[in-house]
Amino acid sequence: MCLAIPGKILQVTNDDSIMRTGKVSFGGIVKEINLAYVPDAEVGDYVIVHAGFAISQLDEDAADKVFQDLESLEDMPAD
Protein backbone atom coordinates (compact mmCIF):
# COMPACT_ATOMS: atom_id res chain seq x y z
CA MET A 1 0.00 0.00 0.00
CA CYS A 2 1.25 3.48 -0.85
CA LEU A 3 0.84 6.52 1.34
CA ALA A 4 0.76 10.11 0.14
CA ILE A 5 0.35 12.96 2.60
CA PRO A 6 -0.48 16.66 2.30
CA GLY A 7 2.07 19.35 3.00
CA LYS A 8 2.23 23.12 2.70
CA ILE A 9 4.83 24.73 0.45
CA LEU A 10 6.95 27.13 2.49
CA GLN A 11 9.57 28.03 -0.09
CA VAL A 12 10.44 27.25 -3.71
CA THR A 13 14.21 26.75 -3.75
CA ASN A 14 14.86 25.82 -7.37
CA ASP A 15 12.53 26.94 -10.16
CA ASP A 16 14.07 24.88 -12.99
CA SER A 17 11.20 23.05 -14.78
CA ILE A 18 12.67 19.57 -14.29
CA MET A 19 14.46 20.02 -10.97
CA ARG A 20 11.88 22.33 -9.35
CA THR A 21 12.12 21.81 -5.60
CA GLY A 22 10.84 23.42 -2.47
CA LYS A 23 10.60 23.22 1.29
CA VAL A 24 7.31 21.62 2.32
CA SER A 25 5.96 21.44 5.88
CA PHE A 26 4.22 18.35 7.18
CA GLY A 27 2.84 19.50 10.52
CA GLY A 28 6.11 21.17 11.48
CA ILE A 29 8.50 18.69 9.86
CA VAL A 30 10.05 20.37 6.82
CA LYS A 31 11.42 18.36 3.89
CA GLU A 32 12.90 19.26 0.51
CA ILE A 33 10.39 17.99 -2.09
CA ASN A 34 10.51 17.76 -5.88
CA LEU A 35 7.78 20.04 -7.31
CA ALA A 36 8.27 19.28 -11.02
CA TYR A 37 4.88 17.51 -11.31
CA VAL A 38 3.01 20.53 -9.92
CA PRO A 39 4.41 23.46 -11.96
CA ASP A 40 1.61 25.85 -10.90
CA ALA A 41 2.07 25.25 -7.15
CA GLU A 42 3.42 28.24 -5.25
CA VAL A 43 4.33 29.20 -1.68
CA GLY A 44 1.28 28.72 0.56
CA ASP A 45 -0.29 26.00 -1.61
CA TYR A 46 -0.93 22.48 -0.36
CA VAL A 47 0.38 19.48 -2.26
CA ILE A 48 0.04 15.72 -1.95
CA VAL A 49 3.51 14.17 -1.57
CA HIS A 50 4.57 10.59 -2.25
CA ALA A 51 8.17 9.36 -2.06
CA GLY A 52 9.63 12.87 -2.17
CA PHE A 53 7.55 14.08 -5.11
CA ALA A 54 4.55 16.41 -5.00
CA ILE A 55 2.07 14.58 -7.23
CA SER A 56 -0.94 16.93 -7.07
CA GLN A 57 -2.30 20.10 -5.50
CA LEU A 58 -5.26 20.36 -3.16
CA ASP A 59 -7.09 23.21 -1.52
CA GLU A 60 -6.70 24.18 2.13
CA ASP A 61 -10.11 22.76 3.13
CA ALA A 62 -9.24 19.34 1.72
CA ALA A 63 -5.84 19.41 3.45
CA ASP A 64 -7.48 20.34 6.77
CA LYS A 65 -9.90 17.41 6.38
CA VAL A 66 -6.99 15.00 5.89
CA PHE A 67 -5.21 16.43 8.96
CA GLN A 68 -8.41 16.00 11.03
CA ASP A 69 -8.78 12.41 9.86
CA LEU A 70 -5.17 11.64 10.74
CA GLU A 71 -5.62 13.15 14.21
CA SER A 72 -8.70 11.01 14.81
CA LEU A 73 -6.65 7.91 13.98
CA GLU A 74 -4.17 8.83 16.72
CA ASP A 75 -7.01 8.65 19.26
CA MET A 76 -8.02 5.13 18.24
CA PRO A 77 -6.84 2.29 20.49
CA ALA A 78 -4.32 -0.10 18.94
CA ASP A 79 -5.49 -3.68 18.57
From first to last of the 79 residues of the chain, give the pLDDT tens digit: 678 899 999 999 887 878 999 999 998 899 999 999 999 999 999 999 999 999 999 999 998 888 888 888 877 777 6
What pLDDT was estimated at residue 27? 84
pTM of the entire predicted model: 0.84
Annotation: CATH topology of 5-74 = SH3 type barrels. (2.30.30)
The full DSSP string for 3-68 is --EEEEEEEEEE--SSS-EEEEEETTEEEEEE-TT-TT--TT-EEEEETTEEEEEE-HHHHHHHHH
The full DSSP string for 62-78 is HHHHHHHHHHHHHTSPP
What pLDDT was estimated at residue 1? 60
What pLDDT was estimated at residue 37? 95
What pLDDT was estimated at residue 2? 73
